[in-house]
Amino acid sequence: MNHWAFIIAAYGLTALGTAGVLLWSYLDMRRAEKAVTDLETRK
Amino acid sequence: MHAYANPARFLKLARPLTPVCVGVGLLLVLLGSYVGLFLTPPDYLQGDTVRIMYIHVPAAWLGMGGWTGIAIASIVQLVWRHPLAGVAGRAIAAPGALFTAICLITGSIWGRPTWGTWWEWDGRMTSMLVLLFLYFAYMALANASDERTTVSRATAIFGIVGAINIPIINRSVVWWNSLHQGPSITLRGSSISSEILWPLLPTVIGFSLLFGGIVLMRMRANLADAKVEARMRRMAAS
């Protein structure tokens, strides 16, 4: 049995999941902090 | 701890810390993964599948560590009413669930060539799956309230009660017969050869820093959302 297919699948899914949650959290943070800045400049 | 009860003071620290956690974390994960994938020798029994350990073990520790963090945040919220405890509990839940899922998936992928099965309902795997469901339930409870800077009393109590599962996961391979091997890394040392073991250190530190970076970003997002909501409410009232 070729072990590398299993290793690539494990690392690939880990990279996808981690990158996905990192990006989601980053975009959510940027959206929220931009809303604060917009509100502060509006007044 | 109470020095950072002020969100403004916390944000002053969190803003420069976030890119450091993410940047250094990514570098360490890439370094540890490269060494673990291409430079370390295969295990004499498991062959190349041992390389999955460099992501599976940090994911398992962070899944359990995340819930320990939720339990501590819940106690701090209920006992000291620290204004950031609820924000922290909320922020930990998503990366905690992510790393618990990664632990389960990578363990299952490792199990197929090593044990000949994707899944076995033994103590370690079942208690880890219970942890994933606990995370989902915590997120559902926390999101049931519109309040972004705290979690309800019931959610905080759930965070503390759910921590019962952590020692069960830890001791499961000792208490019950399991396909999963016994503890390989303890406070007394490790049964794994040092030339295979050492890349685990950069991946554990790297994934922990990434976890910290995600928590900081989610805390900042929740605090910013709460600030906007409060200001909108004040503007609507005036």
CB contact under 8 A, B109 and A10: yes
Q: What is the pLDDT of residues B1-32, one digit of tens each?
A: 566 668 888 999 999 999 999 999 999 999 99
By CA distance, what is A34's nearest residue in B? B224
CA distance A3 to B228: 51
Q: What Cα–Cα distance (Å) separates residue B156 from each residue in B94, B197, B209, B222, B224?
A: 16, 37, 25, 17, 22
Residue B149 has pLDDT above 80, yes or no: no
Contact A17 B102 (CB under 8 A): yes
A32 Cα to chain B: minimum distance (Å): 5
| pLDDT top residue among B43 and B91 | B91
Please report whether residue B82 resides in a domain.
yes
Average confidence (pLDDT) over B206-218: 98
Which residues, in sequence order, are bridge partners of residue B186? B189
Amino acid B1: pLDDT = 59
Q: Which residues in chain A touch residue B55, judged by CB atoms under 8 angstroms apart? A: 10-11, 14
d(CA B223, CA B218) in angstroms, rounded, equals 9
Per-residue pLDDT reduced to its tens digit, A3-39: 999 999 999 999 999 999 999 999 999 999 999 999 8
Evaluate whether B120 touches B173 at the Cβ level (below 8 Å): no
Residue B126's pLDDT is 95
Q: Is residue B232 part of a domain?
A: yes
Residues 44-73 of B with CB under 8 A from A: 47-49, 51-52, 55-56, 59
Q: Do A33 and B94 count as a contact with CB atoms less than 8 A apart?
A: no
Please check whether residue B109 touches A, CB under 8 A: yes
Residue A28 sits at the chain B interface (C-beta within 8 Å): yes
Inform me whether the pLDDT recorded for B43 exceeds 90.
no
Q: Is residue B15 part of a domain?
A: no
Q: Is residue B6 part of a domain?
A: no
pLDDT-based confidence at residue B50 (cuts at 50, 70, 90): very high
Q: What is the pLDDT of residue A19?
A: 97
| Residue B34 belongs to some domain of the structure | no
Say what the pLDDT of residue B3 is: 64
Domain around B97: 50-178+199-237
Structure tokens at B183: 């503890």
Amino acid at A40: E
Look at residue B195 in the predicted model and tell me its pLDDT: 86
Q: Are B156 and B93 in contact (CB under 8 A)?
A: no
Please count the structural domains in chain B. 1
User: What does pLDDT average to over chain B?
Assistant: 91
Residue B91 lies in a domain: yes
> B153 lies in a domain?
yes
Name residue B47's beta-bridge partners.
Answer: B43
DSSP code string of chain A:
--HHHHHHHHHHHHHHHHHHHHHHHHHHHHHHHHHHHHHHHH-
Q: Does residue B40 lie within any of the structural domains?
A: no
- Please give the Cα distance from B47 to B36 (Å, whole number): 13
